[in-house]
C-alpha cells in the first residue's frame, strides 16, 4: 500500500481529554486504523500534535489536539509475467505452490516484477481471491524471499476468509526444516520467546519481553560436527520467527544474510538461509476435511547435507 501526499482522502481531528500515553498507541485506540497504518502516517509526517509533527513514541499528556491526514490508497497495478510455478495441488478453491528460494512473494513499489504474485496473475488472472490488499491477490500467508517451500493460495474470497481464519487460530499447520550452526544439546523442545523489531536494525527481529508472543517447537533430525538439521513447527506466525528464535539460542540458520552474516564466508553456498517450508496442513474450505502436503528438501539442502556428512569422522 503506497501513499501520495497530494491525495488526501480525509483529515481527522482528535481532541484528547484524558487519553495519555504513546502517540501511536492512543491513535490506534481512538481510530479504526491499525498500528502499522498509524505508524506509517506518523513516519510520513501526516500526523501533528498541537500543530507539530512528532514521533510515534511521543508521550501525550491528555489535552492535545491531534490532526491526522489519511491519504487515498494507490492501487498497485500488477504485471502478469509468464514465470513457471511448481503447483503441487489445485482445485476450484485453492492451490498449493512449492516456491523456490530467491523468489519474492509479492510485488512492492521497489520490486514490482518477478514475484510469485506476478506469476499467479499470469496463470490464474481473475481466478484469485482479492486478498488482504491490492498487491497480494490470493495470498493467505507468505514466506521470506530466500526461504523455499509451500504456500497456500486462495482462488475465491470465501476460501481466503476460511483459510485466513485458520491462520489466525493457529490451526493451519506449518513445519519447516533448517540447517543451523552447531550441535544442539537439547534434541527436542520449544522456544517460547516474544519477538519485536530490533530498534538498532530495522531488518531484524529480536527477543523482547514486550514483544509479540512467539512459539516454535523443534526437533533435531540429524547432527553433524558443525551443524544440525532441525524440524521446526510454528505455533505462532511472527515475521522471521524461526530465524530470530534460533539466532537467539545461539544456533543461527546457515546462510542467513540478516541473522548470521558471518556464515556467508564459512559455508559453500550463496542461496541465502537454509530454511524450507516442507509441510503444511489445514481444513479444506469446501470439504471440511484435513488435507496435508509435503515438499522435499531442495537440491541445495541435499548438497550441503552431503558436504556436512563428508566432514563426519568414520
Q: Which residues are the active-site residues?
A: 144
Q: Are strands 87-90 and 94-99 parallel, antiparallel or unpaired?
A: antiparallel
Residues 6+ apart with CB under 8 A from 140: 151, 152, 153, 154, 160, 163, 164, 167, 172
| Residue 230 neighbours by CB distance under 10 Å | 25
In the structure grid, which three cell numbers stand for residue 240, read together?
Answer: 522471521
Is-contact 299 274, C-beta < 8 A?
no
- CA dihedral (88, 179, 202, 165) in degrees, to 10, reads 40
Q: Are 146 and 166 in contact (CB under 8 A)?
A: no
Counting Cβ atoms within 10 Å, is residue 79 exposed (0-12), middle (13-18) or buried (19+)? middle
Distance CA 99, CA 83 (A): 12
CA distances (Å), 39 to each of 26, 62, 241, in order? 11, 19, 22
How many whole angstroms separate alpha carbon 252 and alpha carbon 255? 9
Amino acid at each position: 500500500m503506497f501513499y501520495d501526499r497530494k491525495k488526501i482522502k480525509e483529515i481527522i481531528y482528535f481532541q484528547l481529554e484524558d487519553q495519555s500515553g504513546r502517540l501511536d498507541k492512543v491513535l490506534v485506540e481512538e481510530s479504526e486504523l491499525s498500528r502499522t497504518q498509524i505508524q506509517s502516517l506518523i513516519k510520513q509526517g501526516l500526523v501533528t500534535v498541537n500543530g507539530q509533527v512528532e514521533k510515534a513514541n511521543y508521550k501525550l499528556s491528555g489535552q492535545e489536539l491531534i490532526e491526522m491526514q489519511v491519504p487515498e490508497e494507490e492501487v498497485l497495478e500488477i504485471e502478469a509475467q509468464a514465470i513457471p510455478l511448481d503447483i503441487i495441488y489445485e482445485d476450484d478453491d485453492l492451490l498449493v505452490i512449492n516456491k523456490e528460494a530467491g523468489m519474492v512473494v509479492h510485488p512492492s513499489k521497489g520490486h514490482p516484477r518477478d514475484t510469485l504474485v506476478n506469476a499467479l496473475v499470469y496463470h490464474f488472472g481473475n481466478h484469485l481471491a482479492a486478498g488482504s490488499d491490492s498487491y497480494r491477490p490470493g495470498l493467505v500467508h507468505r514466506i521470506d524471499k530466500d526461504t523455499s517451500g509451500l504456500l497456500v493460495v486462495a482462488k475465491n474470497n470465501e476460501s481466503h476468509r476460511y483459510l485466513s481464519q485458520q491462520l489466525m487460530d493457529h490451526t493451519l499447520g506449518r513445519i519447516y526444516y533448517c540447517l543451523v550452526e552447531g550441535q544442539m544439546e537439547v534434541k527436542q523442545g520449544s522456544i517460547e520467546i516474544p519477538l519485536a523489531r530490533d530498534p538498532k536494525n530495522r531488518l531484524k527481529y529480536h527477543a523482547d519481553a514486550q514483544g509479540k508472543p512467539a512459539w516454535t517447537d523443534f526437533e533435531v533430525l540429524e547432527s553433524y560436527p558443525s551443524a544440525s538439521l532441525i524440524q521446526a513447527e510454528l505455533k505462532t506466525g511472527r515475521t522471521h520467527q524461526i530465524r530470530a528464535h534460533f539466532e537467539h539460542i545461539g544456533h543461527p540458520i546457515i546462510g542467513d544474510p540478516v541473522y548470521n552474516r558471518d556464515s556467508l564466508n564459512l559455508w559453500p553456498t550463496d542461496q541465502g538461509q537454509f530454511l524450507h517450508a516442507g509441510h503444511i496442513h489445514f481444513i479444506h474450505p469446501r470439504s471440511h476435511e484435513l488435507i496435508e502436503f509435503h515438499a522435499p528438501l531442495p537440491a541445495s539442502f541435499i548438497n550441503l547435507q552431503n558436504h556436512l556428512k563428508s566432514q563426519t569422522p568414520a
